[in-house]
C-alpha cells in the first residue's frame, strides 16, 4: 500500500554565480562571509513566484536561477562552495532580480549562518520515495476500541473509568427505548468525547426476513435520525443487536454509517473481545482471554475491539469496575504501541488510509511539500492522518514541518522515521534546519 508519489517539480542546478531571490519584498538577508561565487540559489517566497532571474553579482559571477515556489517559506540561498548564505525572511512579493543580484559576492559580507549546510539536498536526508500514511494514528502499531451496547444506566460509570485512563469509549444506544429525560446523559457523554453509536430503534433480530425494507429503514436510518435530532450529532457507526443480520440489513446499515461493528472483519489482526461472562467461564477467565486477545492484536499490528454491556450487576452479562480497571492497567503496557480511540475514529482512519494518498512536491532542493490528496469523502476523512517518512538527518539538525500559514507542525523522529499529522486536503512544507533554529 505504497502511497507516496514523488514528483520533483524543480530541482535547481548549480548556477554559476549568485542569484539570490530570498524574500521578495520585505525580505532581509544575513549574508555569510567568504562568498566566492559558485553556488546553488534557492528561493522560497511567500506568495507565488514564477520566473527566472539572471544576475551578475559584484563579485564578478553570473548565474541563473529559477524560482517557482508556491506557498510559504523563507527564502534561502545556498552556496555550495562557500560558507556564506543568504536567508531571506518571509515577505510576499514578486521576483525582483533582473540582471542584478541583491547578493554581493565580494567576500566581505558579515554574519554567519549554517542553514544551508545542513542538508543541501533534502532528498538525501529524507527518503521521500518511502513516504507513507501510517497504518494507525501517531504511527502506533495497533489500535483498540471499547464498545458497550444497549445504553445501560452504568454507562456513565463505565465512561468515567475510561476517562481516568485517558480513553474514550463507544456506546451503542437504542433510541426507541430512551425516555424524554434519558437523553441528557448521552449528551454529556458525547460532550466528553465518547462516541454515541446506533444500535437500532428497537433492538430486533435483523436476520428476520419478515422485516420489510420500510422497517429496516425505520430501525436503522430512523434511529440514526432520532439520535441526531436529540443529540445534535449524527451517529457514525452502527452495531447490530446480537451481532446478527441479513445481507439486506447490512446493506442498509452501510448506506448512511461510516462503519458497522462486526465480530469478524476477515482481517487476521482483528480481535473481537467479549466483555461479558456469557462467553467465558467466569470474570477471571474472561479477563485472561481478553488480555491475551489484546496481546495478539498488538503483535499482529491489528485492531482489538471490545464488546460489553453494563457493569457491576447492571444489564446483560455485566463485567465489573474491577474487571475494566484491571484490563486497562494491563493495556497500559502497550501505550507506546497502541492507539486507543472510539470505534468511529479508528474505523475512519482505516477507511481513509486506503483512499487518501500522500504526494510530495520538491519545489527546491532544500524544501519539500507534502500534500494529502486522493479520492475520498471529505465528510469521512476529515481527521488528521499520520504521515511517516524515513530520515537520516545530520546531528545538530532537525526536520521542520510547517503548514501553509507558517504554523509549526509537531514532528517526531523515532528509530530513523519521522512522523507528523496532516489532514486530508492540507499541505505542509518540510525543511531540515539547524536544531537551534527551532528551539526558542
Supply the minimum distance, in Å, between the C-beta of residue 207 and Zn ion. Answer: 14
**Closer residue to Zn ion, CB minimum distance, 138 or 205:** 205
The smaller minimum CB distance to Zn ion, of residues 272 and 349, is found at 272
- What are the φ/ψ torsions at residue 291 (nearest 5 degrees)? -65, -35
Piece of 140-148, 149-157, 243-251, 291-299 that binds Zn ion (CB under 5 A): 149-157
The β-bridge relationship of strands 408-409 and 356-364 is unpaired
| Assigned C-alpha cell, 99 | 540582471
CB-CB contact of 42 with 77 (8 Å)? yes
Q: Does 149 bind Zn ion (CB under 5 A)?
A: yes
Residue 241 CB, nearest approach to Zn ion (Å): 4
In the complex, residue closest to Zn ion by CB: 149
- Measured from the CB atom, is 241 or 434 closer to Zn ion? 241
Using DSSP's 3-state secondary structure scheme, residue 318 falls into coil
> At its nearest, how many Å lie between Zn ion and the CB of residue 175?
13
Euclidean distance between CA atoms 319 and 316, whole angstroms: 9
CB 116 within 8 A of CB 47: no
Task: Tell me whether residue 59 or residue 222 sits nearer to Zn ion (CB atom).
Answer: 222
Which stretch, 1-9, 71-79, 142-150, 255-263, contacts Zn ion (CB under 5 A)? 142-150
User: Least distance in Å: CB of 150 to Zn ion?
Assistant: 4
> Which alpha helices (DSSP H) does 98-205 contain, by range?
122-125, 155-164, 183-191
Q: Is 150 in the site for Zn ion (CB under 5 A)?
A: yes
**Nearest approach, Cβ of 243 to Zn ion (angstroms)?**
9
Nearer to Zn ion, 58 or 208 (CB): 208
Residue with cell 562557500: 82
- How are strands ordered across the β-sheet holding 417-422? 132-133, 385-390, 417-422, 411-414
Minimum separation from the CB atom of position 172 to Zn ion (A)? 7
Window 229-248: residues binding Zn ion (CB under 5 A): 241
Site for Zn ion in 92-121 (CB under 5 A): none
Rounded to the nearest 10 degrees, the angle between the axes of helix 183-191 and helix 223-231 is 70
CB-wise, 63 or 241, nearer to Zn ion?
Answer: 241
Q: What distance in Å separates the CA atoms of residue 52 and residue 98, rounded to the nearest whole number?
A: 9
Nearer to Zn ion, 84 or 151 (CB): 151
Alpha-carbon distance of 408 to 321, in angstroms, equals: 41
Q: Enumerate residues 153-192 that contact Zn ion by CB under 5 A.
A: none
CB of 208 to Zn ion, least distance (A): 15
**Closest approach of Cβ 336 to Zn ion, in Å?**
34
Binding to Zn ion by residue 195, rule CB under 5 A? no
Q: Which stretch binds Zn ion (CB under 5 A): 26-34, 123-131, 145-153, 427-435?
A: 145-153
Q: Which residues ranging from 396 to 435 are in contact with Zn ion (CB under 5 A)?
A: none
228: left (phi over 0), alpha (psi -120 to 50) or beta: alpha
Nearer to Zn ion, 117 or 202 (CB): 202
| Conformational region of residue 150, where left means phi above 0, alpha means psi within -120 to 50, and beta covers everything else | left
* Cα separation, 369 vs 428, whole angstroms: 6
CB of residue 199 vs Zn ion: minimum separation in angstroms?
A: 6
Number of residues counted as binding Zn ion (CB under 5 A): 3
- β-strands 411-414, 417-422 pairing: antiparallel
Mapped onto helix, strand or coil, the DSSP state of residue 384 is coil
What span, in angstroms and rounded, lies between the C-alpha atoms of 110 and 83? Answer: 11
CA dihedral 277, 279, 285, 287 (to 10 degrees): -80
- Per CB under 5 A, the segment of 150-158, 246-254, 318-326, 342-350 that binds Zn ion is 150-158
Least CB distance from residue 274 to Zn ion, whole Å?
13
Does residue 276 bind Zn ion (CB under 5 A)?
no
Binding site residues, Zn ion, CB under 5 A: 149-150, 241
Amino acid at each position: 500500500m505504497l502511497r507516496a508519489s514523488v514528483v520533483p517539480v524543480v530541482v535547481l542546478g548549480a548556477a554559476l554565480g549568485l542569484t539570490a531571490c530570498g524574500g521578495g519584498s520585505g525580505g532581509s538577508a544575513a549574508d555569510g562571509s567568504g562568498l566566492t561565487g559558485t553556488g546553488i540559489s534557492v528561493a522560497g517566497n511567500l506568495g507565488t513566484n514564477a520566473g527566472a532571474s539572471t544576475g551578475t553579482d559584484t563579485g564578478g559571477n553570473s548565474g541563473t536561477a529559477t524560482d517557482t515556489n508556491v506557498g510559504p517559506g523563507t527564502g534561502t540561498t545556498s552556496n555550495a562552495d562557500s560558507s556564506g548564505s543568504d536567508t531571506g525572511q518571509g515577505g510576499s512579493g514578486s521576483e525582483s532580480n533582473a540582471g542584478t543580484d541583491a547578493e554581493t559576492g565580494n567576500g566581505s559580507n558579515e554574519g554567519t549562518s549554517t542553514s544551508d549546510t545542513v542538508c543541501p539536498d533534502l532528498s538525501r536526508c529524507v527518503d521521500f520515495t518511502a513516504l507513507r500514511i501510517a497504518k494507525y494514528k501517531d504511527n502506533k502499531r495497533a489500535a483498540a476500541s471499547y464498545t458497550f451496547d444497549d445504553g445501560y444506566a452504568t454507562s456513565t460509570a463505565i465512561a468515567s473509568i475510561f476517562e481516568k485512563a485517558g480513553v474514550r469509549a463507544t456506546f451503542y444506544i437504542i433510541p426507541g427505548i430512551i425516555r424524554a429525560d434519558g437523553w441528557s446523559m448521552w449528551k454529556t457523554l458525547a460532550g466528553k468525547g465518547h462516541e454515541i453509536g446506533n444500535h437500532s430503534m428497537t433492538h430486533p433480530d435483523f436476520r428476520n426476513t419478515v422485516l420489510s425494507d420500510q422497517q429496516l429503514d425505520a430501525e436503522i436510518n430512523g434511529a440514526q435520525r432520532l439520535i441526531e435530532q436529540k443529540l445534535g450529532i449524527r451517529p457514525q457507526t452502527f452495531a447490530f443487536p446480537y451481532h446478527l443480520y441479513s445481507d439486506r440489513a447490512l446493506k442498509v446499515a452501510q448506506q448512511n454509517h461510516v462503519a458497522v461493528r462486526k465480530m469478524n472483519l476477515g482481517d487476521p489482526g482483528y480481535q473481537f473481545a467479549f466483555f461479558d461472562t456469557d462467553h467465558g467461564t467466569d470474570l477471571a477467565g474472561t479477563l485472561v482471554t481478553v488480555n491475551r486477545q489484546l496481546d495478539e492484536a498488538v503483535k499482529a499490528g491489528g485492531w482489538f475491539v471490545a464488546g460489553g454491556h453494563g457493569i457491576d450487576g447492571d444489564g446483560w452479562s455485566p463485567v465489573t469496575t474491577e474487571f475494566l480497571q484491571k484490563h486497562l492497567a494491563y493495556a497500559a503496557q502497550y501505550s507506546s504501541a497502541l492507539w486507543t480511540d472510539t470505534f468511529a475514529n479508528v474505523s475512519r482512519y482505516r477507511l481513509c488510509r486506503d483512499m487518501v494518498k500522500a504526494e510530495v512536491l520538491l519545489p527546491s532542493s532544500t524544501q519539500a511539500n507534502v500534500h494529502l490528496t486522493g479520492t475520498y469523502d471529505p465528510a469521512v476523512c476529515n481527521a488528521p492522518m499520520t504521515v511517516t517518512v524515513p530520515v537520516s538527518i545530520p546531528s545538530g539538525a532537525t526536520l521542520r514541518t510547517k503548514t501553509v500559514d507558517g504554523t509549526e507542525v509537531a514532528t517526531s523522529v523515532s528509530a530513523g522515521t519521522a512522523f507528523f499529522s496532516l489532514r486530508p486536503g492540507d499541505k505542509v512544507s518540510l525543511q531540515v534546519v539547524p536544531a537551534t533554529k527551532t528551539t526558542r
